[in-house]
Structure 1
Amino acid sequence: MRHLYNRSDFASLPTLDLDPRLHLLLSQRIAALEEELIDWTEYLVVEPGDTEADIQRHIGLSPLVDPVSGKRWGEEGFHPGWDYHAKHDGWWELLFTFGSTFAYVVFIADAEGVPGDLLDLCRRLP
Structure 2
Amino acid sequence: MLSITDLSADLPRHLEPALSRLLSDRIQDARACGLGDMTHIIVVEPGDGEGDFIREAAFSPFRNSLSETRFGDQGFEPPWCWHDRLEEWGWEAIHTVGNDGFAFIILMPDAKGIDQALLAMLQEFPPCS
- The CA deviation at 1:35 is 5.8
Structure 1 segments of 4+ aligned residues over 3 angstroms from their partners: none
The structure with the greater share of residues assigned to helix is: 1
Alignment of 1:1-40 (within 5 A): 1-7=1-7, 10-13=8-11, 15-33=12-30, 34=32, 36-40=34-38
> Could you tell me which residue of structure 2 aligns to residue 57 of structure 1?
55
Task: Please give the root-mean-square deviation of Cα atoms over the aligned residues, in Å.
Answer: 1.5
User: Structure 2, unaligned stretches of length 5 or more?
Assistant: none
Distance 1:73 1:20 in 2: 33
User: Structure 1, unaligned stretches of length 5 or more?
Assistant: none
Aligned residues: 123
Alignment of 1:36-115 (within 5 A): 36-88=34-86, 89-98=88-97, 99-115=99-115
One-letter identity of the residue aligned with 1:93: E
- The CA deviation at 1:59 is 0.3
TM value normalised by structure 1? 0.88
TM value normalised by structure 2? 0.86
Q: Deviations over 1:38-81 (max 9, x none)?
A: 11101011010212101111001111111211111111010122
